[in-house]
Structure 1
Amino acid sequence: MTSLTQTLADFTVQTRFDDLPEAVVHETKRLLLDTIGCALGAVDTPSGRIALEYVNTLGGAPHASVVGSPRRSSATAAAYANARLANVLDADDTFPTSTHFGNATVFSALALAELDRRSGRDLLGAIAVGFDVGARIGSWMGAPMQIENGEVIGWNELGGPAATIAWAAIGASAHIARLDTRQANHAFGIGGSNSPQPTLRKWAESVEQPMYKYADAGWCAEIGVSSALLARLGSTGFTDILDGDNAFWKFYGSPGHDDHALLAGLGEDWQILNTTYKPWPCCRWIHHPLSAFAQLLDRHALRPDEITRVVVRANPFALTPIFREQQPRDPLSAEFSHAHALAALAYAIAPGPRWYEAATMNDARIAAFRERVTVTAEPSSSNIAEWMTGGQWRGVPGGVDIHARGAVFSATADHASGDPWTSATRFSDAQIRSKFGVMVGLDAAGDGPREIRHAARELADIVMSLDALPVERLTASLDALSRAMRTQSEKQES
């Protein structure tokens, strides 16, 4: 009988671009554009600057592009910096196993595409395949929380997002490196054995967040690139890492596994079609109450100075202390604060890097609004089993009660803006482009400095036609946009 490991490895390296349905190709382009935008938006953040300085310290052969930097670096170093940048603002896409891995999927594939001079079709194929591998590993291990009688009773003792981030990078890297099935099997063993420690429980209990949060997406991307390169050179790993009593799910801390979810519809049910996009740069669990909040602000033309109190009704995942923190002390912690997100939205702060700039974090109006936000449980999301299928969630209700004008305005969102499962919430191509523009310094209407506006439009157009172009066109356009952004930043500082 063919093992789980070998079956998934075979799929990873035998699938070709021509095997991808048109909808999958289109979604892959959308994910690529969104992820690049998230990385560019983080270049001038403290965490982003550290990533770029770290890569400069490492040096290395100039094989791959580093987002926001005039210097190229090695494939491993570039994958590290770019994937970390893409996750810094917590604005990157989220798959419904409670994790992000578009970051490492995209940038491990791009680094090796540059190293090996692959085509745009090759890059898109690697992203789609790698994303599927990460999604299936996450669905196989299930949600990282303890569920009893359908209700969440706590986080797992072990487990966490790092596993799926690393596996997505492993899959993308094995594909773009053109490993054979034997080499891919070994790459799986190498990468899976060296995945980061599971720290989700520590993250959930910490109000003040480290810069890498629950996992450094950069290291996960670097693991993927390294595992593929090592396997291609002949290094070996466990060839049965997904099989048997001591399979990956067990030593990584998952309380169970679902082999059907791992392989069901392999090559037919493409998981990239289930990813969710973020209109706001904060934890996805905050987006359900935020969606309800945005609806009420718009429907009733509510001004922030009219709002005397907001009660957030959150799902079970978003009730730990970090989500209840009213006055987060740093940008990374603010990404998980309901209060900060609602305050930034209420005051119409552009949903990108500006949410976490010092001027916003220290704004007296923002601080005062945060004090008026409290968090309680959303009753309709208590039975999490109702919202789960195949190890994935399909919407988890969250809502708000806004006290203003002597009345209470209430709304609940079963699905958040950016969810692909309803026509009302699915992000359009125009929304993806608009978000990309905001991330690189334009406003929601696409207005801003002419050089950035032109370079951003060119990059977006290239991404959306990448299946007919070489990867060099993408990286040249990315470099041009990075230069335009650096020039604008220098003008503002002078």
Structure 2
Amino acid sequence: MATIVEKNLAAEGAYGRSTSELARFVCDTSFEQLPAETVHATKRMILDEIVCVAAAMDTPMAKALVRLKTGVGGAPESGLFLHGDRLPAQGSAYIHAQLANLLDADETMLNKMHTLSASVFSAFSLAERNRASGKELITAIATGYDISARIGLSLKQFVPDGKGGQVFARLYGFSWMTMGATASAGRVLGLNRQQLAMALGQAYATTPVYFDQQRNKRAMMRDGPRASWHKYQMTGAMAEAAINAAELVSYGWVAQSDIFDEDSEFWLSFGALDYDWDTMYDGLGERWYITDCAVKPYPFCRFGHQTLDLMTEIVETHALRPEDVEAIHVRFPPHQLSEQLASTRFADEGMKLMSSLPTALSLVTLGIPPGPKWFNADLTGEAVRSIARRVTYEIEPAWGPRLAEQMDRDGVLRYIPAEVTVKTNCGKTFRGSAESACGDPWAPDFAMSDARLARKAHSFLDGILSKDRIDDLIDAVLSLDAAGDVQTIVHATVRDGLS
């Protein structure tokens, strides 16, 4: 069966692995051509992104971002979540996209990247300004995100360590998400194919550069130094750059239009050793990567979610109290990120929480609901740290081939083995193991239902929005394809009495 892109190209008598093919895909794909599964997944991801933003709006980081963007003034085009203030589209996209990743509770695609927020909020801000329909917004996000995903999957991020394990590539990052976000923005703006191709080139010229991720992470993994508030990606700047690129081209700006042609070496700018053009182009319009986005129940690195699920199950099944737990032992395969998470015993501020598995296990043991309450918990208090001291870990070399075979075959890790053993003070031992985590859409027993996603929304936004507002938000997003615009969603994100 021919894909959407192949049908569109056949009608013109053209075919080629080039930027123009991507532009045709984004510009010509109609809502009616989206599979029902893709439409539903896109609506769920929009809801989850909005929940993650609203949950972070009361943080000091949000206050700084809001002050930055409200201080410059401009046309009242797009509403600010919770506040109700209206900003230029670029300003609200900048704030919302950056905050979506702040708690580290936003989506993870195939255990590799959090890159959806730039597409969601560049498109959402413009859709609000331009009064675009819900169907048009869904199509813009689904197609634009597919570009982001294909670029990211085609670049190497984890490489073999020669010992059966995986380590980070020497230089890696996520700035390429600007191109997918630009595709989403350009679709909302109604760019034609040539304009869309040039907008991608303009985005490539303006996206933030990579920075030294490993050096930046040092402060995340020890007490004392303050963690960088930009974390590992400045998503807000990427969302804003995406809108600027698309708008510039709509004003007649001329930019390079062939950056994704197969003879391009654009990938050298992103520190890659090579580029997989097959992953970039194969199944375009048929294989939708937004359906591979996992919803995260915990505000923590996705590589630790199997462990946190297992600990949650043990604590809840056996009604364990913090004082019942004598020791927690974790096993995982040889992977640099997993070892970094397990070896970082303490986190002395919310920004560092995502990097300390012992701290996250402590919060599960204490029964603190995941979400902003984790971020705001007393992480340096004895209640948390006394449990973190009881956590030990072990690398299981025999599980290394399980990772290696996935990387060799697919270039991603869908399954990451983990085991948790809890010993109690009364001499009992409880053990659990898993390869998948709650929210993994490719594992049927672990996929997060709409009802479970709604529970995440209520848990994360408890005390931030009223229950009725949260229900209104859920209903508005999940019925987005029937909406003439996004105003109902915008209204539901504002605190009672402010809208």
317-326 or 19-28, which moves further after superposition?
317-326
1:446 matched residue in structure 2: none
**What CA distance in whole angstroms lies between the structure 1 residues aligned with 2:208 and 2:330?**
33
2:491 corresponds to 1:437: no
Residue 483 of structure 1 aligns to a residue whose secondary structure is: coil
2:420 corresponds to 1:374: no
**What CA distance in whole angstroms lies between the structure 2 residues aligned with 1:150 and 1:34?**
38
1:452 matched residue in structure 2: 466
Q: Give the deviation of 1:397 after TM superposition.
A: 1.4
Q: Give the deviation of 1:204 after TM superposition.
A: 4.6
1:335 matched residue in structure 2: 354
**What CA distance in whole angstroms lies between the structure 2 residues aligned with 1:43 and 1:225?**
22
**What CA distance in whole angstroms lies between the structure 2 residues aligned with 1:157 and 1:58?**
38
Question: TM-score by structure 1 length?
Answer: 0.90
Map 1:179-198; keep pairs closer than 5 Å. 179-198=191-210
Residue type of the alignment partner of 1:171: A
2:340 and 2:355 in contact (8 A); partners too: no
Structure 2 vs 1, CA of residues 391 and 97 (structure 1 numbering), >3 Å: closer, same or farther?
farther
Unaligned runs of 5+ in 2: 1-14
2:173 matched residue in structure 1: 160
2:304 and 2:338 in contact (8 A); partners too: no
1:201 matched residue in structure 2: 214
Question: TM-score by structure 2 length?
Answer: 0.90
Residue type of the alignment partner of 1:181: R
**What CA distance in whole angstroms lies between the structure 1 residues aligned with 2:81 and 2:186?**
22
Q: Which of 269, 274, 278 is the matching residue for 1:260?
A: 278
Q: Which of 352, 359, 364 is the matching residue for 2:371?
A: 352
Q: Give the deviation of 1:457 after TM superposition.
A: 0.9
**Count of matched residue positions in the alignment of Structure 1 and Structure 2:** 475
Q: Give the deviation of 1:245 after TM superposition.
A: 5.6
Structure 2 vs 1, CA of residues 86 and 427 (structure 1 numbering), >3 Å: closer, same or farther?
same
**What CA distance in whole angstroms lies between the structure 2 residues aligned with 1:407 and 1:421?**
34
**What CA distance in whole angstroms lies between the structure 1 residues aligned with 2:20 and 2:447?**
35
1:186 and 1:239 in contact (8 A); partners too: yes
- Residue by residue, what CA displacement relative to the aligned partner does 1:130-157 show, whole Å, maximum 9, x if unpaired? 2211111111113x12225583453212
396-405 or 316-325, which moves further after superposition?
316-325
Map 1:15-414; keep pairs closer than 5 Å. 15-96=29-110, 98-142=112-156, 144-148=157-161, 151-163=164-176, 165-199=177-211, 200-206=213-219, 207=221, 209-243=227-261, 247-315=265-333, 316-321=335-340, 323-357=342-376, 359-383=377-401, 384-388=403-407, 389-404=409-424, 405-414=426-435
1:65 and 1:475 in contact (8 A); partners too: no
- Residue by residue, what CA displacement relative to the aligned partner does 1:12-58 show, whole Å, maximum 9, x if unpaired? 11111111111111111111111111100001112122222221123
**What CA distance in whole angstroms lies between the structure 2 residues aligned with 1:349 and 1:423?**
27
Residue type of the alignment partner of 2:419: G
Residue type of the alignment partner of 1:193: A
Paired-residue identity, %: 31
Residue type of the alignment partner of 1:239: S
Q: Give the deviation of 1:171 after TM superposition.
A: 2.1
Residue type of the alignment partner of 2:324: E
1:261 and 1:390 in contact (8 A); partners too: no
Structure 2 vs 1, CA of residues 205 and 261 (structure 1 numbering), >3 Å: closer, same or farther?
farther
**What CA distance in whole angstroms lies between the structure 1 residues aligned with 2:172 and 2:111?**
12
Residue 131 of structure 2 aligns to a residue whose secondary structure is: coil
**What CA distance in whole angstroms lies between the structure 1 residues aligned with 2:134 and 2:310?**
39
Residue type of the alignment partner of 1:24: T
Residue 100 of structure 2 aligns to a residue whose secondary structure is: helix
**What CA distance in whole angstroms lies between the structure 2 residues aligned with 1:485 and 1:150?**
59
Residue 167 of structure 2 aligns to a residue whose secondary structure is: strand
Structure 2 vs 1, CA of residues 246 and 423 (structure 1 numbering), >3 Å: closer, same or farther?
closer
1:33 and 1:460 in contact (8 A); partners too: yes
Residue type of the alignment partner of 2:44: R
Residue 185 of structure 1 aligns to a residue whose secondary structure is: helix
Residue 443 of structure 2 aligns to a residue whose secondary structure is: coil
Unaligned runs of 5+ in 1: 443-448, 488-494
366-375 or 196-205, which moves further after superposition?
196-205
- Residue by residue, what CA displacement relative to the aligned partner does 1:173-224 show, whole Å, maximum 9, x if unpaired? 1221111110111111111222222233334544253111111111111121
Residue 58 of structure 1 aligns to a residue whose secondary structure is: coil
